[in-house]
Amino acid sequence: MNAYYPQITTSASMLDSIVKIEELSATLQSYERVSVAITDRKLYGLLPFYKVMKRHDLHAVFGLTVKMVISDSLDLPFILYAQNEQGYQHLIKISSAISLRENEDLPFNWLKGYKAGLKLMIPLVHVAPNEESEAAILQVAHLFEEGIYLGMERIHGVRNENEPYWIKFAKVNDLKIAMTHEVRFLKEDDLEAFEAAQSIKDGIPIAERHALTAREKGLYLPTSENLQNWFEDQPDWLLHTEELLASCDVNLTYGEHHMPKFPVEEGETAKEMLLEQCLEGLDLRGLSGKEIYEDRLHYELSVINQMGYADYFLIVADYIEYARSQRILTGPGRGSSASSLVAYCLKITNVDPIKYDLLFERFLNPDRITLPDIDVDFADMKRQVVIDYVVEKYGMQYTSQIITFGTLSAKAVARDVARVLGFSMEELKVISSLIPSKPGTTLSMTLSTLNQWIGEDPLKQKWLEIALKLEGLHRNASTHAAGVVLSPIPLPDIVPIEKGSDQIYITQWPMQEVEEIGLLKMDFLGLKNLSILDHIRYMIYFNQKKMLDFEKIPLHDENTFRLLQRGDTAGVFQLESDGMRQALIQIQPTSFLDLVAINALYRPGPMEFIPVYSRRKHGLESVQLPHPDLAPILNETFGVIVYQEQIMRIASVFAGFSLGEADLLRRAVSKKKRELLDSERVHFVQGASKKGYNEQVANEIYDLIVRFANYGFPKSHAVAYSLITYQMAYLKANFPHYFYAALLSSAIGNKEKHSQLLQEVRSKGIEILPPSILKSGKSYRVEGNSIRFALGAIRGIPQTFLNKLQALRKNGNAEWTSIFEMALAFTSTHFKRQTMEALIRAGAIDVFERDRAQLIETISAAEKLAKLYAPNEETTLFYDTNIYGVPKHAKVENMTEKEKLEGEKDVLGFYVSTHPVENLKEKLHFDGIQLNRVSSIKIGAKINVLAQVQNLKVIRTKKGEQMAFLQLEDETSSISATIFPQVFEQFKEELIEELFLEIEAKVESRNNAPQLIIQKLKVIPKE
């Protein structure tokens, strides 16, 4: 039996449908012949639909549901079908046009230019039977002639009440009626899942949503037999549907690349310009006349030109040069592109590939033609500036960002379905706890746990059944974090587009599909650490009037390597984790290449070789090479294969492979497919034999390559990113005040990270100056040998206030001596009680030499003054204190020391004036150890400390006993501590956060950091 479905709305329509394309295909495979049309309102799912249907030999038809504006008073639903390649192109353009319009509709006149190659169906269920509709349909029929069909549906076999009207109309005007049936879910028993999806989309519980109509309940996929029965009295309608779908036949082909073009002067080619810029860059790098560099450059250029990528390199070099001209910091390189000398000459990268033995074939392999992929890191705060430049230079029609789809993950769908079914907050919390947040987790992985909780509860059983059906559906669309597409022809000629953010279009197809159709994707990545580096550079320049050139930082700085050897790398890019610090302490790096190796080794799998690398580096173990001829390749890493490039070098040196062939070998063996492994083994052994190596040795070397294929890391990427790592470490070692000021500024808003950094700063003996309305900035600043607390880090200070302060300082109107002067300057628009209270409690207004309690009580008077003389930024009146007098401050008792400290902790997250622990020690005459000294005390020693509990986490042991982990803090530092069950049992009722404790503890080490095992404690009661 054959089946024809002209109106399928798929799950690509963001919860308007729950029809998954793979499941639809599986359902249709039982029929002898199938024609099925996708008719979503956008073309999001078109390519996946085509690929799946074609894979299963099902006839796929491309359709698009459109709201057609006939007149000011009438719009009609149309379904446009692509009859051929031209129609497919027109669908893309129509979808783009609709998506860029405010109401996402299409004026009828626009259709006139795109009708070629299209057929059209008007689903009559949505059309009112009146003269206006008739006239509109006839107008369309005149345009489309034989290509128009009137769609008639019979949900559940029930005839529409207007059916006789339209049958008569069609007969009188010689129009064809075709059977149609809109599908939004696959099976009748998917109805509840469909209803839940509608509720999730609308954001309201099912119980509060309007009930589904009889028609909506019938939008499942009927069998072919159903349709035959429902329309047995109108066989022509079934034939017309078959005729319509059969007439639409589009075959998509892939493989054509649409490479963008760089604008060159008339009479000049991109190849000539590229050569000219590369030779100039080689000279600027001081490398002209060196044969090894000139030979490598001309080789790379020959490959690039042969592949047709000259324009691409010029485009990337141009927008990186623009970034530099705007003082936007760019990364030294990323991924395999750092292995290109052309990229180095063009200043796309700052990694010398010959110095570090990086292989061009790892980036562009002449034996395997692929699109080039130069990903570029920019300071994340300024990345958009570069994208805007590219859009402006090449035009909006040729440039876009890329869409990405958010899906209903296991945890998200479980919670969303529970919410619309009316589950309680407690039940939602339980569901969250039962499903791990780990990426890739599916509901099926957690079924046993979920079923235990569900038991025999019918509502929970329904919940799981629905959640399983909705899992993985598209929920929303957003913009890809980095991808930008550049095309040589207008994008709507190739890919559908829609409105994006920042006045830039986005594609309707995600990254993989954009690349499949031959468009070039470029990644503009925002890297926070580059913004931190940039911030440090400009703070140094502001204070010292010298601009730090990161390219000229010495890679053998003693202070930097001492810092790395101590594992003192909090805040250093890539080196912050405990495991990475352990690796640094174990290896004791003494060269930049050690740092590169550590970054490459510290990953699951290869990290097992960190001890081997360390022992061999320090002469505790002999370096063992699989063959003496491999010494030049493996000596750098003490005989350990660390990099993919080493595998390629081994294949080249040992088996005579070209570097292109060696890259193919690397890729092949990493896939671990038996046939590939065997064929490449024969190739390798034969090559080694020709070079005079015996078969046994050749097989041993090949086995070594296979073993390390998955472990090997791209050395090009490791070198490039290790440069950023080194620069951060260099700044921490040599400019610690600026380093911490920038890091603290970047952590504003992240309470835990901010607090940790403040503690580290204090432990380094660097003074944190209190916030000041006259001296503090939005971010942290360096003042002499101290760091000034940032106003932006005070809780409750809005950005609008900080922006106004910046403007006042710029205009020279920010030198106040009283809260009243400040109120007049800020105007009533910005001078608000909540803001002022936060500033006062933080100590930022102490400069006015008034007690904080008095200042808080005076806010009302200052507010009244501002409302009277400066009601807004446009209206300010002159206020002369000689004429009007100075308003009086409120009279009130001074704030106690305790109140002052509590206020600071509340709005700053830490104490500025003095730490309460310091006051307690003085009061109790405590003579114990300060926490910043614990790291210098012998492991196992017993010490006494007085500290405040900052964090408290209670857990149960395997025996079911309770114990606790604490984070303790005093005036000098913080430390983690553990209370085992025996001690915890005595104090569990008293232990809370903010509590002060006198402790006797044993010093231990965990992850190379000191910690305390609490053996005795005394709770110090609050006053």
Which of 695, 727, 759 is the endpoint of a domain? 727
Is 463 a member of any domain? no
Same domain for 877 and 982?
no
CB neighbours of 42 closer than 8 A, spacing ≥ 6?
Answer: 12, 13, 64, 95, 99, 496, 498, 508
> How many structural domains comprise the chain?
5
Is 7 a member of any domain? yes
| 402 burial via Cβ count (<10 Å: 0-12, 13-18, 19+) | buried
Weakest-pLDDT range from 13-17, 544-548, 865-869: 865-869
Is 459 a member of any domain? no
What is the span of the domain harbouring residue 392?
A: 270-404+479-529
Same domain for 832 and 948?
no
pLDDT digits (tens, 9 = 90+) for 385-422: 999 999 999 999 999 999 999 999 999 999 999 999 99
Same domain for 926 and 1014?
yes
Which of 881, 908, 935 is the endpoint of a domain? 908
* For residue 834, pLDDT beyond 70: yes
pLDDT digits (tens, 9 = 90+) for 526-538: 999 999 999 999 9
Closest CA to 360 of 715, 89, 804, 835: 715
The whole-angstrom separation of Cα 94 and Cα 118 is 11
The whole-angstrom separation of Cα 196 and Cα 459 is 13
Q: Which two tokens stand for residue 755?
A: 């607090």
Same domain for 792 and 813?
yes
Same domain for 602 and 497?
no
* pLDDT class of 15 with cuts at 50, 70, 90: very high
The whole-angstrom separation of Cα 463 and Cα 423 is 10
Same domain for 580 and 721?
yes
Q: Which two tokens stand for residue 896?
A: 């106690």
* For residue 468, pLDDT beyond 80: yes
The whole-angstrom separation of Cα 582 and Cα 53 is 53
- Please count the residues of the chain: 1023
pLDDT digits (tens, 9 = 90+) for 615-625: 999 999 999 89
Classified as helix, coil or strand, 397 is helix
CB neighbours of 953 closer than 8 A, spacing ≥ 6?
Answer: 964, 965, 966
Closest CA to 313 of 356, 345, 358: 345
The whole-angstrom separation of Cα 684 and Cα 152 is 66
Note the helical H segments in 925-988: 981-987
Is 813 a member of any domain? yes
Same domain for 100 and 116?
yes
pLDDT digits (tens, 9 = 90+) for 124-153: 999 999 999 999 999 999 998 889 999 999
- What CATH number is associated with residue 962? 2.40.50.140
pLDDT at 438: 86
Average pLDDT, the chain: 91
Give the strand pairing for 118-123 and 148-152. Answer: parallel
Closest CA to 400 of 265, 528, 246, 511: 511
Q: Fill in the amino acid letter for 158.
A: V
Same domain for 367 and 514?
yes
- What CATH number is associated with residue 75? 3.20.20.140
Which of 694, 727, 760 is the endpoint of a domain? 727
H or E element, residue 999: strand 996-1006
Is 377 a member of any domain? yes
Is 706 a member of any domain? yes
pLDDT at 884: 60
Is 409 a member of any domain? no
Answer yes or no: are the C-beta atoms of 257 and 488 closer than 8 Å.
no
Is 196 a member of any domain? no
- What CATH number is associated with residue 392? 3.30.1900.20
Same domain for 1000 and 899?
no
Q: What angle do CA 488, 489, 493 make, to 5 degrees?
A: 145
Same domain for 170 and 124?
yes
CB neighbours of 296 closer than 8 A, spacing ≥ 6?
Answer: 341, 353, 354, 360
Same domain for 512 and 568?
no
pLDDT at 367: 84
pLDDT digits (tens, 9 = 90+) for 191-201: 999 999 999 99
CB neighbours of 975 closer than 8 A, spacing ≥ 6?
Answer: 931, 934, 947, 967, 968, 1010, 1011, 1012
Same domain for 844 and 787?
yes
| 231 burial via Cβ count (<10 Å: 0-12, 13-18, 19+) | buried
- Residue written as token pair 């149309």: 78
pLDDT at 730: 98
* pLDDT class of 672 with cuts at 50, 70, 90: confident
